[in-house]
Amino acid sequence: MTTRRRAVAGLSAATALLIAAGLAALGPDSAVASSHREAPLVAADPAIDNTDLYAFASPDRPGYLTIVANWIPFEEPNGGPNFYPFATDAAYNLYVDNDGDALPDATFRFTFHNVDKRGNNTFLYNNGPVTSLDDENLLFRQTYTLESSFNGAPFKTRIADAPVAPSRTGPASMPDYAKLRQQATLTLPGGWKTFAGQADDPFFLDLRVFDLLYGGNLSEVGQDTLSGYNVNSIALQVPFKDVALGGDVGRNPVIGVWTTTDRAKVRMTGDTSALRGQGDRVQVSRLGNPLVNEVVVPAALKDAFNALSPDKDASVQKVVDRVTDPEVPHLIEGIYGVPAPPTPRNDLAEIFLTGLTTKANGPIKVDLNSQLMNRDVRANRFRPSEMLRLNLSTPVTTNPKRLGVLDGDLQGFPNGRRLTDDVVDIELQALEGAAQTGKLVDALAAGDKVNANDNAFERSFPYLALPNVGAVNGGAVNGGGTGAGGAVPGDGHPGESASPTAMAAAGQTGPGESPVPTMAAASGAAGAAALLVGGAWWWRRRRSRPAAVATAGPAGAASGDPGHVHPHGPDPDSTLPF
């Protein structure tokens, strides 16, 4: 007898807020739950938790867009015996908006299926060495179907029964994991490439920011919290013409990208029949720009934000208010004495909600990555919305800088996001006003001191490092940074991780780029020292009486249509403190 159960319940406060805002689609049967455990409900459902989204022009394949989206945070390599499968009762979606109306013009949908041969015989993931994806020793495997829809047309199947690269169980079980990765990397008609499987988590940062902004005195920095952990990744590479408005990247080079996870409204144990129609699903996780839901959206709105579609962002004033008057600058001012920029923060509204363009009449006078720049866009239909925007016509730089646009590298974040972009340091500088002033904030130059991923990225699609092996808690020998094999430190291409020496040598500004002044090393050291002294004083004073930490103000055509197939950087010395 099949057991029926509700997916998620108990969203009364968030649901009431959204209904009050006119979002009645989120009914009581909806399941709402993006980015490393940032929202209460999604933290309890890691299989649908979007951790990160990347979108960049493929460095080794001109004219092609690469999108990488990750799920399931903090995968410890030894987390058996079931390890980390994709959810089979969910749809994993990649969206592209090319006309600025905050609705998808291209949708790429991935759904997964289990092939489980363990039954009553064993608990093992594999019962011997696995040398290929069809090895009989691999007792549990997954396949996926990729479907696409352009401009609202019905979905077409691009590939079915495609193999998923399995969780990496260790060197004895999978002696040549790079071979398994290669077998799971497929080329489809129309030049598309696709991959689904486990990978090293490419996000790098020190998460001790949550200990009152690095201990209140910057003593807690320099540790890559995600070192050694893995994620489940979906990567897709498609021609520019398949995602540009009217198929013309010359006239319409800017796109917006976001990703979601959908679950069935009512989940049936052991039954995926509810996935047969889009109307049977509800969005439970969402991700565009990094860190927005973590450090911009307040706790009471996080689950609701994960269920919201971008076209409704501008209608939820409490979310908009948190962009124009964010919490973090007030926290930094209260703890470290760095004055918060005056509000309203229209510069942040440009970065996160409209893209950078003079046509938005904002304070950042540059034309970079707003769909308003596309010649065939109807300006009266443009809608501010939170998504990762990318100008496909920006030349690929040979010397990427980890601070991206803030350091004169116009191909870096927030113009898309490469694997090597140091988004924590970039966003903190932006929150402190660097994008508006054109000058980095000296007091934040020391950063979290995590400037690059612990494993080198690969030079070709899907670019991600191979999954880690060994215990995360095993120390320097067996812990983080293990098992990335098959890649060498990058030579400066987007999507590659360079060694500290290579990154230090990549500080020049390329032709046609607009440099933003960076800090001198002495200035950075002095700023860090001042923060350490001031922070220590503040901390001692706080222990004697409650600190008056300021809080935030008011709550904030495609043309190509491939056919159906079945398978047979840069400067490590100038970061910021979060």
Q: Are 357 and 373 in contact (CB under 8 A)?
A: yes
User: What's the pLDDT at 461?
Assistant: 98
What integer pLDDT is reported at residue 251 of this predicted model? 98
State the Cα–Cα distance between residues 303 and 283, nearest whole angstrom: 11
pLDDT of residue 4: 32
pLDDT the model gives residue 266: 64
CA distance 51 to 48: 9
Q: What is the pLDDT of residue 98?
A: 98
Pick from 451, 17, 32, 419: nearest CA to 205: 451
What DSSP designation does 126 have? B
Q: Say what the pLDDT of residue 41 is.
A: 67
The DSSP result for 517-535, as a single string, is: ----HHHHHHHHHHHHHHH
Contact indicator for 363, 347 with CB cutoff of 8 Å? yes
Closest CA to 286 of 18, 94, 23: 94
Compute the distance between CA of residue 83 and CA of residue 506 in angstroms, rounded to an integer.
39
What is the spatial distance between Cα 102 and Cα 92, in angstroms, rounded to a whole number?
Answer: 19
50, 122, 463 from 175: Cα distances, Å: 29, 22, 21
Please count the helices (runs of H) and the strands (runs of E) in the chain.
14, 14
Structural contact between residues 198 and 72, judged by C-beta atoms closer than 8 angstroms: no
For strands 50-57 and 64-75, give the pairing: antiparallel
Rounded to whole angstroms, the Cα distance separating 65 from 70 reads 17
φ, ψ of residue 393 to 5 degrees: the values are -90, -5
DSSP 31-55: ----TTT-SHHHHT-GGG-EEEEEE
pLDDT on residue 362: 87
- The pTM for the full model equals 0.78
Rounded to the nearest 10°, the torsion over CA 25, 29, 34, 40 is 120
**For residue 551, which of 349, 346, 326, 295 has the smallest C-alpha distance?**
326
Strand-pairing partners, residue 282, are: 263
For the chain, list residues with pLDDT below 70: 1-42, 266-279, 475-578
User: Residue 245 corresponds to which tokens in the numbers above?
Assistant: 């408005």
pLDDT value, residue 128: 97
Which pLDDT score, from 0 to 100, does residue 559 have? Answer: 39
